[in-house]
C-alpha cells in the first residue's frame, strides 16, 4: 500500500490559505491578499479562545480599512 | 506531531502501586495483551484521565473519580491516584502530571469531596501556568476529537449513526470530525467577519442618519438592523434551547432504558389488577346464582313422586296428542281425495278415474271424517292443563337442578384459580418493582416527559425555521435600503467611506462563505478517497470497490455495480469505522498517537490480519490493547515485523491488582 502523505499543522494552514486565495483571486482580486492571510492566522492561533480571536479579527479588519479607505 | 514517551500509573484502577510503560521514541506499534477484567479499558481511561481529567464507564458515561482508586491500596490506607504522562510534541518534551489526592485534614476519604485534584504540565524544566497549560493541552489533543485518538471498539455503533441525518450523536461526531480536519478555523473566521460586517452596517446607518438628505433611509436602515439583531438573538436563544432539549431527550432516553422494565411491570400489574376486579364481580354473580338454586334443594326429597306423576301425565298427554296428530294427517288425506274427486284424477298415480273409482274415493272421504275426528273443546282444554302441569313438575325435578349447580360450581372453581394466579403475579410484580429501587412515579412519568420533550423539540425546530425565514426577509429588505441609499451618498465623504468599508467587509464575508463550502467539499473528497483506499486494502470482498461519503462524513460501501450496500454486518461496520479513522488521521492537522481498545470485535481472522498490517500506516504511534486470542500473537508479530516495537502483558495478581509486565 502506498505510503500516505501526512498533513502537519503548517500544511493545514497552507491548505486553508490556498482555499481562500483561490476564491479571492478569482472573484475579489481587489481584496488585499495579506489581510486574508492575517485573518486566517489570527483564527488559527486562537482556536481555543474565541473572544480573543474575534477581538483580534475585528481589530485587524478595522486597521486595514483605516489604511485602505480612510487614508485613500 | 505528538508522541508518547512514557506512562507511569500509581494506584489507578487495578494498577496497584507504581507501574510504568515505556514507548519507543521512533513510533511504531506497542501491543498490550490482557484478558477480560485485567484493565485494558482502564488503560484507555488512564490516558483519558491524564489528558482531560475524565474517566468513562461503559457506553461512555463519566465515572466518579473516587471509584477509580485501587481498592487494595484504599484498604491499606493508601488513598488517591496519580498519572504521569511524558510526551514529545514537535521537539518539546512535556511532562503531564494529574493527581487525585486526599484533601488536607481528611483522615479517610469517603466521597469525591474528600479529594482534591492537581494538574501540572512541565515543558522541559518549566512548569507552565494554568492558562498556558490548558492552552497547550487543548492544542495538542482537544477533548472534542479524543474519540479519534482514544478509540474504543465498543462505541463503533456511533459511526453507523453518521449515515443517519438529524441525530444528536451524529451531530457531535460530525463536529468532532470537522474539528480534527481544521474546518472551525474557517467557520470561526466567517462568524468574526460577520460580526465586523454588522458593526460596519451600524456605522453606515448612523452616518446616514446624521445627514438630512439620507436621514430617512438611515432611519429605515437602523430600524431594520435593530429588527435583524432581535431576530438573530431570538434564533440564538432557540438554538441554545434546542441543544438543551436534545441533551434532555438523550438523558430521558437513557432513563427510559433503565426504567423500561419497571414501566412494563407497572403496566402488567395494572392490567392484572383490573382482571382481578372483573373476575371477582363475576364470581359474586355466580355465587349468588348457586345460593338461589340451593334454596330449592328440598325438592330433591320429592323427586321420586314427581317422576311418577310425570310418567302418568306423559301417558295421558300422549293419548290426546296422538288423537290430534291422527286428525291432522286425515285432514291432509281428505284434501288430496277431495281434489281427486273434483278433477276426476287419482291423487296417487295421476290416472283418470272412472265412476266406480270416484265412488270408492267419496266413501273413503266419509269414513275419514267419522274415524279421525279432531279434539273436542273440552279435550283441548284438558290437553292444555296436562301440558301446564307437566311443565311445572319439570321445574321441580332435582336432576336438572343438580346439573345446574354442578356446572356453576365448576365455573366458580375456575374463576377462583384465575384470581389466585393473577394475585400471585401481582405480588411478584410488586416485589420486582420494590427491589428495583426505582421511583415508580418517576418511572411512569418519564415516558410522558419524553413525549413532551419531543413535542418541544419539534416546536423549537419550527421556531428556528420561522426565524431563519424572517431573517432572510429582513436581510433582503436591508439590501434593498442599502441599494437605495447608495446613489444618495454623492458628496457625502463620510457616508461614502462607511459604504466602502461595508462593501469590503461583505466581500471578505463572501470569500469566507465560499471558502467554508469549498474546503468542506475538498476535505470530503480527500477523506472519501483515503478511506476507500484503506477499506479496499482491508476488505476481503472483491466486489466492494470503495466508500461513498455523505454530508455527515458517514461512509457507505459501494459495490462494483455502483449500488450502495445499505445493510452491513457488524464486522464491516468495524472495517468502515477504522477506514474513516485512518483517513481522518491522514488529513488532520493534529497528528498524534492512536490508542485502540479491542478494535477487532467480530472480525474474522483474515480481516484481523489485514487490519493489523494497516495499523502502522494509520498513525506514527499506535498502542493496541487486545486480549490473548483476539488476534493471533505469532501472526501479529509476523505481520507487523519491525513496526512492532514493544509488547506488554497485563498479569493477574488478585481480583483488584493487575501487574504490567514487559514482553
pLDDT for B85-120, tens place per residue?
999 988 889 999 999 999 999 888 888 888 899 999
Distance CA B153, CA B577 (A): 9
Cβ partners under 8 Å of residue B76, min gap 6: none
- Nearest chain B residue to A26 by CA: give it: B511
CA-based nearest distance B190→chain A, Å: 10
Tell me the C-alpha distance between B420 and B95, whole Å: 70
Window 18-37 of A, Cβ < 8 Å to B: 19-20, 22-24, 27-28, 30-31, 35-36
Give the strands of the sheet with B92-102, arranged side by side: B15-22, B2-12, B81-89, B92-102, B115-123, B126-127
B616, closest residue in chain A (CA to CA): A3
CA-based radius of gyration for chain B: 47
CA distance B103 to B118: 11
Query: How confident is the model over B38-53, as a mean pLDDT?
Result: 90
Closest CA–CA distance from residue A47 to any residue of chain B (Å): 7
Is the pLDDT at B509 greater than 90, yes or no?
yes
Specify the pLDDT at position B157. Answer: 62
Chain A neighbors of B537, CB-CB under 8 A: 1
The 3-state secondary structure of B239-282 reads HHHHHHHHHHHHHHHHHHHHHHHHHHHHHHHHHHHHHHHHHHHH
Contact assessment for residue B204 and residue B499, using Cβ atoms and an 8 Å cutoff: yes
Instruction: Tell which of B142, B197, B501 to mutate to test the A interface (max A CBs under 10 Å).
Output: B501
Give how far the C-alpha of residue A36 lies from the chain's centroid of Cα atoms, to the nearest Å.
4
pLDDT tier for residue B181 given thresholds of 50, 70 and 90: confident
Count how many pairs of residues, chain A against chain B, have C-beta atoms within 8 Å: 119
| DSSP code for B104 | T
Select the more confidently predicted residue: B445 or B658. Answer: B658
Give chain A positions within 8 Å (CB) of B1: 8
Nearest CA in chain B to A15: B519
> For B13-36, how does the pLDDT look when each residue is reduced to its tens digit (9 = 90+)?
999 999 999 998 888 999 999 988
Q: Which of A3, A50, A65 sits opposite B188 (nearest CB)?
A: A50
Distant-in-sequence, close-in-space partners of B324: CB < 8 Å, separation ≥ 6: B374, B375, B383
Residue B151, helix vs strand vs coil: strand
Which residue among B185, B507, B537 places its CB closest to the CB of A1? B537
Give the lowest-confidence range in A17-26, B197-206, B388-397, B493-502. B388-397
Q: What angle do CA B312, B313, B317 make, to 5 degrees?
A: 120
Residues of B with Cβ-Cβ distance to A70 under 8 angstroms: 497
What does the alpha-carbon distance between residue B191 and residue B512 come to, in Å, rounded to a whole number? 9
Residue B365 reports pLDDT greater than 90 = no
Choose the mutation target among A5, A43, A67 for the interface with B, i.e. most B CBs under 10 Å. A43
Q: How far is A24 from chain B (nearest CA, A)?
A: 6
SS (H, E, C) B177-225: HHHHHCHHHHHHHHHHHHHHHHHHHHHHHHHHHHCHHHHHHHHHHHHHH
Q: Please report residues of B whose CB lies closer than 8 A to that of A13.
A: 185, 589
The pair phi, psi for residue B513, each rounded to 5°, is -60, -50
For residue A9, the distance in angstroms to the closest alpha carbon of chain B comes to 5
Q: Does residue B327 carry a pLDDT above 90?
A: no
Gap between the Cα atoms of B602 and B608, Å rounded: 9
The stretches of B344-397 forming alpha helices (DSSP H) are: 355-371, 377-395
Predicted pLDDT of residue A6: 41
Q: What distance in Å separates residue B249's CA from the closest CA in chain A?
A: 29
**Cell numbers standing for residue B507:** 466581500
CA distance B119 to chain A (A): 19
Question: B185 vs A44: CB contact, 8 Å cut-off?
Answer: yes
Nearest by CB to residue B508, choosing from A2, A22, A31, is A31
CA distance B486 to B565: 56
Go through B72-83 and write b for each residue having 16 or more CB atoms within 10 A of its CB, e for each that does not.
bbbeeebbbbbb
User: Could you give the 3-state DSSP secondary structure of residue A49?
Assistant: coil
Pairing relationship of beta strands B28-33 and B644-654 according to DSSP bridges: parallel
- Considering only the beta carbons, identify the residue of B185, B586, B614 that sits closest to A6: B586
* Residue B11: closest CA among B78, B63, B57: B78
A48 by DSSP, 3-state: which? coil
0.80 surpassed by pTM? no
In 3D space, the residue among B58, B55, B86, B59 whose CA is nearest the CA of residue B69 turns out to be B55
Tell me the C-alpha distance between B50 and A43, whole Å. Answer: 28
Encode pLDDT of A25-41 as tens digits: 999 999 999 999 999 99
- pLDDT class of B58 with cuts at 50, 70, 90: low
pLDDT digits (tens, 9 = 90+) for B131-159: 889 988 888 888 877 878 888 776 666 66
Q: Of B50-64, B268-282, B316-330, B579-593, which range is least confident?
A: B50-64
> Are the Cβ atoms of A58 and B589 closer than 8 angstroms?
no
Assess A60–B contact: CB distance below 8 Å, yes or no.
Answer: no
Judged by average pLDDT, the poorest of B2-11, B67-76, B303-312, B574-583 is B303-312
Which residues does B345 contact at the CB level (< 8 Å), separation at least 6? B351, B352, B353
Minimal Cα distance from B195: which residue of A?
Answer: A58
What is the three-class DSSP state of B98? Answer: strand
Where chain A has pLDDT below 50, the residues are 1-7
**CA R_g for chain A:** 15
Task: Answer yes or no: is pLDDT of B169 > 80.
Answer: no
Amino acid at each position: 500500500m502506498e505510503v500516505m502523505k501526512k498533513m502537519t499543522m503548517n500544511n493545514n494552514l497552507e491548505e486553508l490559505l490556498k482555499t481562500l486565495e483561490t476564491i479571492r483571486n478569482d472573484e475579489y482580486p481587489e481584496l488585499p491578499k495579506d489581510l486574508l492571510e492575517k485573518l486566517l492566522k489570527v483564527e488559527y492561533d486562537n482556536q481555543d479562545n474565541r473572544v480573543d480571536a474575534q477581538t483580534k479579527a475585528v481589530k485587524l479588519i478595522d486597521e486595514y480599512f483605516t489604511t485602505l479607505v480612510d487614508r485613500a | 506531531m505528538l508522541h508518547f514517551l512514557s506512562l507511569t500509573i500509581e494506584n489507578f484502577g487495578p494498577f496497584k502501586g507504581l507501574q510504568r510503560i515505556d514507548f519507543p521514541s521512533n513510533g511504531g506499534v506497542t501491543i498490550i495483551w490482557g484478558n477480560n477484567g485485567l484493565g485494558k479499558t482502564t488503560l484507555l481511561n488512564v490516558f483519558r484521565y491524564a489528558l482531560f481529567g475524565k474517566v468513562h464507564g461503559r457506553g461512555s458515561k463519566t465515572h466518579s473519580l473516587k471509584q477509580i482508586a485501587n481498592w487494595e491500596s484504599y484498604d491499606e490506607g493508601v488513598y488517591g491516584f496519580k498519572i504521569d504522562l511524558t510526551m514529545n510534541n514537535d521537539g518539546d518534551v512535556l511532562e503531564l502530571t494529574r493527581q487525585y489526592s486526599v484533601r488536607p485534614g481528611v483522615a479517610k476519604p469517603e466521597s469525591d469531596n474528600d479529594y482534591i485534584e492537581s494538574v501540572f504540565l512541565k515543558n522541559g524544566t518549566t512548569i507552565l501556568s494554568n492558562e498556558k497549560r490548558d492552552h497547550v493541552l487543548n492544542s495538542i489533543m482537544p477533548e472534542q476529537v479524543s474519540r479519534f485518538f482514544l478509540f474504543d471498539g465498543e462505541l463503533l455503533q456511533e459511526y453507523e449513526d453518521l449515515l443517519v441525518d438529524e441525530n444528536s450523536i451524529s451531530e457531535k461526531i460530525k463536529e468532532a470530525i470537522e474539528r480534527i480536519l481544521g474546518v472551525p478555523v474557517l467557520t470561526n473566521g466567517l462568524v468574526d467577519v460577520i460580526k465586523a460586517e454588522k458593526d460596519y452596517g451600524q456605522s453606515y446607518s448612523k452616518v446616514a442618519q446624521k445627514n438630512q438628505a439620507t436621514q430617512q433611509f438611515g432611519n429605515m436602515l437602523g430600524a431594520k438592523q435593530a429588527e435583524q439583531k432581535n431576530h438573530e438573538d431570538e434564533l440564538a436563544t432557540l438554538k441554545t434551547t434546542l441543544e438543551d432539549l436534545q441533551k434532555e431527550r438523550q438523558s430521558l432516553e437513557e432513563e427510559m432504558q433503565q426504567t423500561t422494565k419497571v414501566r412494563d411491570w407497572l403496566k402488567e400489574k395494572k392490567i392484572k389488577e383490573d382482571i382481578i376486579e372483573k373476575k371477582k364481580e363475576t364470581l359474586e354473580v355466580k355465587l349468588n346464582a348457586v345460593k338461589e338454586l340451593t334454596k330449592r334443594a328440598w325438592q330433591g326429597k320429592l323427586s321420586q313422586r314427581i317422576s311418577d306423576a310425570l310418567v302418568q301425565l306423559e301417558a295421558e298427554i300422549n293419548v290426546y296428542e296422538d288423537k290430534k296428530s291422527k286428525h291432522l294427517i286425515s285432514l291432509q288425506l281428505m284434501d288430496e281425495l277431495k281434489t281427486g274427486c273434483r278433477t276426476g284424477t287419482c291423487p296417487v298415480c295421476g290416472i283418470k278415474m272412472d265412476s266406480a273409482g270416484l265412488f270408492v274415493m267419496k266413501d273413503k272421504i266419509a269414513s275419514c271424517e267419522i274415524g279421525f275426528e279432531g279434539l273436542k273443546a273440552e279435550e283441548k282444554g284438558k290437553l292444555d292443563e296436562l301440558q301446564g302441569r307437566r311443565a311445572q313438575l319439570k321445574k321441580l325435578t332435582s336432576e336438572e337442578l343438580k346439573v345446574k349447580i354442578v356446572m356453576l360450581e365448576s365455573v366458580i372453581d375456575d374463576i377462583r384459580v384465575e384470581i389466585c394466579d393473577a394475585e400471585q403475579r401481582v405480588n411478584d410484580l410488586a416485589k420486582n418493582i420494590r427491589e428495583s429501587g426505582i421511583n415508580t412515579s418517576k418511572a411512569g412519568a418519564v415516558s410522558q416527559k419524553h413525549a413532551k420533550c419531543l413535542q418541544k423539540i419539534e416546536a423549537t425546530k419550527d421556531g428556528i425555521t420561522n426565524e431563519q425565514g424572517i431573517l432572510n426577509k429582513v436581510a433582503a429588505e436591508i439590501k434593498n435600503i442599502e441599494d437605495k441609499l447608495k446613489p444618495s451618498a454623492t458628496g457625502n465623504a463620510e457616508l461614502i467611506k462607511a459604504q466602502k468599508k461595508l462593501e469590503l467587509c461583505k466581500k471578505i464575508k463572501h470569500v469566507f462563505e465560499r471558502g467554508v463550502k469549498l474546503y468542506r467539499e475538498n476535505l470530503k473528497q480527500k477523506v472519501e478517497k483515503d478511506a476507500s483506499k484503506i477499506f479496499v486494502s482491508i476488505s476481503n470482498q472483491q466486489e466492494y470497490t470503495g466508500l461513498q461519503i455523505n454530508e455527515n462524513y458517514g461512509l457507505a460501501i459501494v459495490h462494483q455495480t455502483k449500488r450502495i450496500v445499505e445493510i452491513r454486518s457488524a464486522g464491516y461496520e468495524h472495517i468502515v469505522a477504522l477506514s474513516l479513522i485512518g483517513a481522518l488521521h491522514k488529513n488532520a492537522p493534529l497528528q498524534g498517537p492512536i490508542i485502540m481498545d479491542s478494535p477487532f470485535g467480530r472480525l474474522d481472522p483474515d480481516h484481523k490480519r489485514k487490519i493489523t498490517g494497516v495499523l502502522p500506516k494509520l498513525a506514527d504511534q499506535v498502542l493496541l490493547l487486545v486480549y490473548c486470542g483476539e488476534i493471533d500473537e505469532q501472526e501479529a508479530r509476523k505481520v507487523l515485523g519491525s513496526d512492532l516495537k514493544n509488547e506488554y502483558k497485563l498479569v493477574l495478581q488478585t481480583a483488584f491488582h493487575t501487574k504490567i509486565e514487559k514482553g
